[in-house]
Chain A
């Protein structure tokens, strides 16, 4: 079975400061990992993914994420937060050992609030 946990319901950060949104996962093998963002009244939008290779993945809007296999984590980071980054962030995982199933499992989300 595949699962993902986002331990923080909410993260508060001041504009211009670095931000981190945490995610840990559980799969049988090597995971495929994703981050999505959801703005109010909008659908989820893809930010970045990790499949293989470099543990540091760069994505849209200046976001990056670091894959740590020993800690089973895939934390989302940004060096300098913007007020416009305020949104809901979802981590997702897919276990490639699930055969023909291409269905990611999502975390419950973390609300990021960036204060001016």
Chain B
């Protein structure tokens, strides 16, 4: 199993350009997530998809859109990149998003290797 894969690994954009970050998981997980990580800020949730067919905003959704293409794939699109979007982007997946049963196994998130994006 490859786990969670992301493409591309690195990307440099000019302000105003658009691009899509791709993410796929082969663990049959229901929930998928996009985070950005900036120095000293920790991981911040951009968007998530609790299950196939649904997407919801996270903490920092402005400037981004997402598509849950199928159960395996969850893409993140930057329509008009800005320097403030320079960051490392991580995709993650888990069996479940909610903690009604406090089952650690279903809540564990598995991360992809990340995409390092620079916007000039």
A binds B: no
